[in-house]
Amino acid sequence: MRVTCARKDLHEGVQAAARAVSARTSLPILGHLLMNAEEGKLRIAATDLEIGMECVVEARVQEQGVLTVPARMLTEVLATLPDADVSISCDESNVVSLNCGTSDFTILGLPPEEFPMLPEVKEEVSFSIESEVLREGIRKTSFAISQDESRAILTGVLLEVNANSLKMVATDTYRLCVLDCSLIESEGSINAIVPGRAMNELSRILPEGEGTVHVTLSGSQIMFKVGDSVLISRLIDGQFPNYEKVIPGDYNKKLTIPTELFLQSVRRASIVARENSNRAILRTDNGTLVVTAESGKLGKAREEVEVVREGDDMRMAFNARYLMDVLGVIDTEAVEMELTGEVSPAVVRPQGQENYIYVLMPMQIE
């Protein structure tokens, strides 16, 4: 194999594919990238057997072929080379030669036949979605994924695919995000739980601005095709909780709060709250929302925000970090909080938008 690429393009492709490389693995080949030189292009693939990534780089192919190369070493080498053409070749003993300007590297590869090929995803259900819509969906749900590996079904995002609609759901049992997204087209219906890591890696390869993502699902795998890039992931097996049961059906108090002022007030109060289980107390006094936090080690914090209140005054405690998470992804000027009581879940919505809901469990007031 012999191929020549622009250093910048090759580095970007290697970086993107290398995100699928496992940092800790007992199989040396999983620490390698698979490079396949075809006519006019170089395909770069990586996998940790849970997710797989393939990127395509434009190339001048002098000799078609395939090789493997250690992902970490190649990434570091390309990061330090000047912006010039990079030539890569490989001999029959899997020794890779890399040349760029006055730099020459000899890198020991492994036999390409040892590399586990990325699986083909049978098209049982498919849909297409605008890349910006999917990016926003990941941003507004993935932060609520559970980090508790003992409950695997909560470590991913639930995708509910129906005719021309997609519902993205994430929960760690303390809070719940539900977002309705529109699709360009769809074929079939399915409920699938995509690992959080796969969703976060996908968000990194989604293009800025306009673009279309084609998604294919089978019973156990999902494939995202973004331009020439492909991400394949195993689905999480199991039954996602019936999240609709925890969404309150009505409320007796409602607050309309300026988003940015609310976020900054909670952020300042959280400096104290983090020493007390992140507990921040919210209470209303007519048209004012008072945010307080207290710590025996640090002291007290008190913030005020003007609000529009419907119903009686309220007093509840919430995890400040969980409040900041949702306020940081809401783009409207104001948010609405719907409340029913001190021990009942609160609902946070962007003002004027019906497609996004955030349910937050309260904390006990000490």
Q: Within 13 A of 348's CA, how many CA atoms are on the CB side?
A: 28
Residue 296 confidence (pLDDT) = 85
Across the beta sheet with 103-108, what order do the strands follow? 60-63, 2-6, 85-90, 95-100, 103-108
Read off φ and ψ for residue 154, nearest 5 degrees: -95, 0
- Both 136 and 54 in one domain: the answer is no
Is residue 301 in a domain?
yes
Residue 365 included in any domain: no
Asked whether 337 and 326 are in contact (CB, 8 A), the reply is: no
Could you give the CA distance from residue 181 to residue 290 in angstroms, rounded to a whole number? 34
CATH code, domain with 309: 3.10.150.10
- In three-state secondary structure terms, 141 is helix
Q: Are residues 240 and 129 in the same domain?
A: yes
Residue 69 and residue 104 share a domain: yes
Looking at residue 237, its amino acid is: D
Secondary structure class of 36 (helix, strand, coil): strand
Of 276, 135, 284, 110, nearest in space to 204 by CA: 135
70 shares its domain with 15: yes
- Which is it for strands 279-285 and 2-6: parallel, antiparallel or unpaired? unpaired
Contact assessment for residue 324 and residue 342, using Cβ atoms and an 8 Å cutoff:
no
Do residues 145 and 209 both lie within one domain?
A: yes
- What's the confidence (pLDDT) of residue 341? 87
**How many domains is the chain built from?**
3
Domain C-terminal end among 186, 221, 244: 244
Report the DSSP beta bridge partners of residue 320. none
The residue type at 178: V
Are 98 and 134 members of one domain?
Answer: no
Distance CA 204, CA 187 (A): 26
Q: Name the burial class of residue 300, with classes exposed (0-12), middle (13-18) and buried (19+) by CB atoms within 10 angstroms of its CB.
A: exposed
Among 199, 217, 244, the domain-final residue is: 244
| Residue 161: domain span | 125-244
In a domain, 349, yes or no: yes
Terminal CA-CA length for the chain: 68
In a domain, 366, yes or no: no
Are 48 and 34 within 8 A, CB to CB?
A: no
Q: Domain end: 188, 209, 244, which one?
A: 244
Question: What ranges in the chain are assigned the alpha helix state H?
Answer: 7-18, 71-80, 131-141, 196-205, 259-273, 320-327
- Would you call 9 helix, strand, or coil by DSSP? helix
In the chain, which residues have pLDDT < 70?
none
DSSP 84: S
Q: Is residue 208 located within the same domain as residue 155?
A: yes
The string of pLDDT tens digits covering residues 203-254 is 998 988 789 999 999 989 999 999 889 999 999 999 999 999 999 989 999 9
For the entire predicted model, the pTM comes to: 0.91
What does the angle CA 137 – CA 143 – CA 144 come to, to the nearest 5 degrees? 100
Q: Angle between the 131-141 and 196-205 helix axes, to the nearest 10 degrees?
A: 140
Do residues 141 and 233 share a domain?
A: yes
CA dist 163 and 189 (Å) reads: 7
- The per-type count for the chain, helices as H runs and strands as E runs, is 6, 27
Alpha helices in 206-281 (DSSP H): 259-273
The H or E element spanning position 100 is strand 95-100
With tokens 């008190």, the residue in question is 302
157 and 211 in a common domain = yes
Q: In the Cβ-directed half-sphere of 249, how many Cα atoms lie within 13 Å?
A: 1
pLDDT at 22: 80
Q: For residues 53 and 16, is the Cβ–Cβ distance under 8 A?
A: yes
Residue 63 and residue 90 in one domain:
yes
